[in-house]
């Protein structure tokens, strides 16, 4: 799209042309990872866009999206817009010239309108084929991982208060032990992906012990895995997971317990544990009939009051990028900036947003509204670090290393092995 046409689009003339005189709607193709119920939900959002714009927006979902988008781009048949679950793939495609930078001013808009706005700009900014950094990705639909789940009735019966700092969380952990109970359920089992829940713990704890720039440099390996600051974060996880008194079944059960089974101890009678740290999706594995907000609830995995690092939130999300340039593709990104685009999914299920301008009453689920409050309260948002690392590390040696550490291996030794695996990729 040439510069003159781009200016024309941004003045709105393209939109007017679509609806003036009964003009035929222009087609816009969108590809993403959502299928089934998720696809129905995104289609409901696109219905609003179709009605407002007159654009014939066509979404196609695939459970092999990550592979298919690369094949289509290399063949010159990419959709106009692609929805990426991981920034790493988008960054790689940007470096190869397969993505179009978003409109001028979009970065400023994100900084002004998203909570922890600079974090979202950074996550969507990559080096292009020209070697310069551009904003390519617009984040829309976010997940939160910095959550601790508990049963309110159990807390009430025991007289426990929800902790508001990491210091209070550790004190509560010790208090539960002093009362003769077990504070935590932790499980790292996940078949071939065993170990990944521990990577989330380490990432969350690194954000609570070091500044965000340390996290960023660690993810890119500018700071090696065996740096003392990273080893400290691993040992912080060990404070919770390697103490027999702190974990249901003892420390030896952590690596062998499936993460889907581990929260069940919350609901045992008497409770086998009182807390479980896991992302927003974990209620899918609660006992049938569990009502979140009544039978189970959650609180923010707190930061250290003494370290003054704000309220960091770890999570994931999807970014929308232009993979086949057209005026309608930019028009869709502009639509995604509107509160209405977010509220159209908020009233459904499984949607969180950092957009500060939305009406929180639009949430159809009070649980999601509470999670979104945590997201909006974030001073820093960081994407799941293991998802940003090379696959051999983030979905390989980091996973297995955390299993070894949970089993008793020294943190510095584990970190050194993970770094060796990263060095082997160079």
User: If we measure between CA atoms, which residue out of 193, 202, 221, 192 comes closest to residue 425?
Assistant: 221
pLDDT at 13 over 90: no
What is the chain's length?
A: 426
Tally of structural domains, the chain? 2
Residue 240: pLDDT over 60: yes
* Residue 285 lies in domain: 147-311+388-423
- Residue 108 sits at the vertex; the CA angle it makes with 106 and 110, to the nearest 5 degrees, is 70
248 and 162 assigned to the same domain: yes
Q: Are residues 40 and 157 in the same domain?
A: no
State the residue for tokens 């495609």: 93
Q: Give the separation between CA 137 and CA 125, rounded to whole angstroms.
A: 7
Per residue in 32-88, pLDDT (tens digit) is 999 999 999 999 999 999 999 999 999 999 999 999 999 999 999 999 999 999 899
Report in angstroms the alpha-carbon separations of 419 from 202, 212, 365, 411: 15, 20, 43, 12
User: How far is 188 from 399, CA to CA, in rounded Å?
Assistant: 9
Q: What pLDDT was estimated at residue 24?
A: 52
Task: Residue 195: give its domain's CATH number.
Answer: 3.40.190.10
- Please give the Cα distance from 376 to 354 (Å, whole number): 6
Tell me the per-residue pLDDT of 158-197, one tens digit each, with 9 for 90 and over: 999 999 999 999 999 999 999 999 999 999 999 999 999 9
191 cis-preceded (ω within 30 degrees of 0): no
- Are residues 212 and 285 part of one domain? yes
142 falls within a domain? no
Residue 117 sits in the same domain as residue 236: no
Across the range 233-255, mean pLDDT stands at: 98
Same domain for 129 and 27: yes
Q: What is the pLDDT of residues 314-351, one digit of tens each?
A: 999 999 999 999 999 999 999 999 999 999 999 999 99
Same domain, 363 and 395: no
Same domain, 116 and 160: no
Nearest to 148 by CA among 302, 276, 246: 276
Asked, for residue 141, whether it belongs to a domain, the answer is no
**Residues 113, 38 share a domain:** yes
- Please indicate, yes or no, whether residues 156 and 202 belong to a single structural domain of this protein: yes
Token representation of residue 315: 């999570």
Task: Please state, rounded to an integer, the average pLDDT across all residues of the chain.
Answer: 93
Question: How far apart are the C-alpha atoms of 105 and 59, rounded to whole Å?
Answer: 26
Asked if the structure places residue 88 within a domain, the reply is: yes
d(CA 421, CA 139): 31
Q: Does 67 share its domain with 156?
A: no
Residue 332: which of 40, 133, 96, 102 has the closest Cα? 102
Confidence band, pLDDT 50/70/90 cuts, at residue 3: very low
- Interatomic CA distance for residues 69 and 323, integer angstroms: 9
Does 383 fall in a domain?
A: no
Q: pLDDT higher for 2 or 275?
A: 275
pLDDT surpassing 70 at residue 422: yes
pLDDT digits (tens, 9 = 90+) for 304-314: 999 999 999 99
pLDDT tens for each residue of 207-236: 999 999 999 999 999 999 999 999 999 999
> Are 257 and 396 within one domain?
yes
Same domain, 254 and 392: yes
């Amino acid at each position: 799209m040439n510069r003159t046409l781009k200016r024309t689009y941004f003045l709105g003339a393209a939109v007017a042309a679509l609806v003036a005189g009964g003009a035929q709607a222009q087609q816009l193709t969108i590809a993403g990872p959502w299928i089934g119920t998720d696809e129905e939900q995104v289609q409901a959002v696109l219905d609003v866009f179709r009605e407002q714009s007159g654009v014939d927006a066509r979404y196609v979902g695939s459970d092999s999206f990550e592979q298919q988008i690369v094949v289509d781009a290399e063949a010159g048949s990419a959709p106009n817009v692609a929805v990426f679950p991981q920034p790493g793939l988008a960054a790689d495609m940007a470096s190869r010239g397969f993505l179009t930078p978003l409109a001028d001013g979009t970065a400023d808009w994100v900084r002004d309108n998203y909570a922890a706005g600079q974090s979202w700009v950074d996550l969507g900014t990559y080096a292009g084929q020209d070697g310069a950094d551009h904003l390519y990705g617009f984040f829309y639909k976010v997940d939160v991982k910095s959550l601790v789940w508990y049963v309110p009735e159990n807390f009430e019966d025991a007289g426990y208060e929800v902790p508001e700092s990491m210091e209070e969380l550790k004190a509560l952990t010790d208090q539960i032990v002093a009362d003769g109970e077990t504070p935590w359920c932790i499980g790292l089992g996940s078949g071939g992906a065993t170990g990944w829940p521990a990577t989330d713990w380490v990432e969350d704890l690194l954000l609570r012990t070091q500044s965000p720039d340390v996290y960023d440099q660690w993810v890119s390996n500018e700071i090696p895995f065996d740096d003392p600051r990273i080893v400290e974060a691993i040992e912080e996880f060990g404070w919770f997971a390697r103490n027999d008194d702190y974990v249901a079944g003892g420390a030896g059960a952590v690596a062998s317990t499936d993460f889907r089974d581990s929260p069940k101890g919350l609901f045992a009678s008497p409770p086998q544990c009182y807390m479980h740290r896991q992302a927003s999706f974990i209620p899918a594995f609660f006992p049938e009939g569990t009502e979140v907000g009544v039978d189970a609830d959650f609180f923010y995995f707190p930061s250290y009051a003494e370290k003054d690092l704000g309220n960091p939130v770890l999570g994931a999300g999807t970014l929308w990028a232009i993979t086949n340039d057209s005026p309608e593709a930019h028009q869709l990104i502009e639509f995604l900036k509107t509160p209405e685009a977010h509220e159209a999914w908020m009233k459904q299920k499984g949607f969180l947003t950092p957009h500060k301008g939305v009406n929180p009453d639009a949430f159809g689920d009070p649980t999601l509204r509470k999670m979104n409050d945590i997201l909006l309260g974030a001073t820093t948002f960081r994407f799941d670090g293991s998802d940003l690392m090379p696959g051999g590390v983030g979905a390989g040696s980091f996973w297995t290393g955390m299993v070894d550490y949970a089993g008793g291996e020294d943190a510095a030794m584990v970190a050194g092995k993970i770094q060796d695996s990263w060095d082997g990729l160079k």
